[in-house]
Amino acid sequence: MKEIPLLRPYFNSEELEEVQKVLNSGWVSQGPKVQEFEGKIAEYLGIKYAIAVTNCTSALHLALLSIGVKTGDEVLVADFTFPATGHAVLYCGAKPIFVDIDSKTYNMDIDLIEEKITERTKAIIPVHTFGQPVQMDKIMEIAEEYNLKVIEDAACALGAKYKDMYAGTIGNLGCFSFHARKGITTGEGGMAVTDNKNLAEKIRNLSVFGMTSAWNREKSDKFIIPEFTEVGYNYKMSDIAAAIGVAQLKRLDKIIKRKQELARYWDEKLQEIEFIESPYVSKNVTHVYQSYIALVDKQINRNKLIELLMKKGVQTQIGTYASHIQPVYNSNQECPKSYQTFNMSLALPMYYTLTEGDIDMAAAHLKEALVELRWI
């Protein structure tokens, strides 16, 4: 029986060549290859500053610290997201205030933002869920009116666009992920981006223990003993990871185009299947389909569906989490649409080397499984 995984990263010989260059150079921690990767990301996005870090969670943490979020502050967070978003707020000693979602787009419901704002609110973190950008115009208007900062959680959205603007470049700061499941990957890795020089310098300093980085010291012809000016973190990316990122970035647009084609094919197949609905896409966005997330009917036990499909050789998964119900947050907030979507969402196989034939097979098994569960 052929097995169809949920995801499969796409590599070729270019990654090996780039990594070999780094190994041959003898500089494998943060160094010139990280600087190259940062430059290429900044150029791609058309933004001034990009700081490579260990993952998107650390990027979010540093972004929050750079705007001064501290103990006692509140940050508005999209509820339907991987808990890393809320965790980054907790790392600062602040409180995540969860905002319910639009059931169609899975993104933060913009109409619910203002009622959540208090005198303690310092920032808004909209999440571009699964690679579909949030409607950012209204969020930026609200932020300006209430003097709030906006940090875009663009973990899933490198290359996605809202109107003609890249996700992650519209707010004060944007944060990206290079996890294995994302559009391009460095295994683990992240990036914070901004047009604000002061925020960029703050993030870079905090990412290397609050000291002058080794790469910057090496560029000087004088012997410099670094000073530790504040409590920072060991969040720096290695040159080995950056080398993979440099190679991956060359293929990003090709990967996005192919995944958009596969998403359209999935849409067609799901139209033929009862008890499941294809994802909605807004008209003014470019969706990059980090994941393809469908909604199963309320009659269907989604968890049993995942188990049954696995037995048939098709790997699926939940969409993501309703953050407010996670015990770590000890939250009494209610986000009913997020909770419902958490229980109904199903991630279907989506990756560059997936074929239409694979989708045909997976869809056939999906149809069988839904019929079986309908009568249980």
Per domain, the residue ranges of the chain are 13-249, 252-374
Instruction: Name the CATH code of domain 13-249 (choices 2.40.110.10, 3.50.50.60, 3.60.40.10, 3.40.640.10).
Output: 3.40.640.10
State the pLDDT at residue 227. 81
Torsion, Cα of 224, 229, 234, 238 (10° steps): -40
Whether 211 and 232 have beta carbons less than 8 Å apart is answered as: yes
Q: Write out the chain's pLDDT in tens, 376 residues.
A: 789 999 999 999 999 999 999 999 999 999 999 999 999 999 999 999 999 999 999 999 999 999 999 999 999 999 999 999 999 999 999 999 999 999 999 999 999 999 999 999 999 999 999 999 999 999 999 999 999 999 999 999 999 999 999 999 999 999 999 999 999 999 999 999 999 999 999 999 999 998 865 556 556 677 778 888 889 999 999 999 999 999 999 999 999 999 999 999 999 999 999 999 999 999 999 999 999 999 999 999 999 999 999 999 999 999 999 999 999 999 999 999 999 999 999 999 999 999 999 999 999 999 999 999 986 6
User: How many distinct helices (H) and strands (E) make up the chain?
Assistant: 12, 14
How many residues does this entry show for the chain? 376
308 membership: H or E segment, kind and range = helix 302-311
182 among known catalytic residues: yes
State the pLDDT at residue 218. 58
Q: DSSP class of residue 323?
A: G
Backbone conformation region of residue 326, classed left if phi is above 0, alpha if psi is from -120 to 50, else beta: beta
State the pLDDT at residue 224. 77
Phi first, then psi: give them for residue 69, nearest 5 degrees: -65, 135
Alpha carbon distance 65, 17 (integer Å): 37
| pTM (2 d.p.) | 0.95
Alpha carbon distance 99, 112 (integer Å): 7
3-class DSSP assignment, residue 205: helix
State the pLDDT at residue 215. 55
Sign of the four-CA dihedral 313, 319, 325, 328: positive
Fold of the domain built from segment(s) 252-374 = Aspartate Aminotransferase, domain 1 (3.90.1150)
Supply the DSSP string of 245-294, one letter for each residue: HHHHHTTHHHHHHHHHHHHHHHHHHHHTSTTEEPPP--TTEE---SSEEE
State the pLDDT at residue 214. 56
Whether 315 and 4 have beta carbons less than 8 Å apart is answered as: yes
State the pLDDT at residue 223. 76
**Active-site choice (95, 149, 182, 269):** 182
Task: Give the distance between the most distant pair of CA atoms in the chain.
Answer: 76
Rg for the chain (alpha carbons), in Å? 21
Q: Which two tokens stand for residue 295?
A: 């909604």
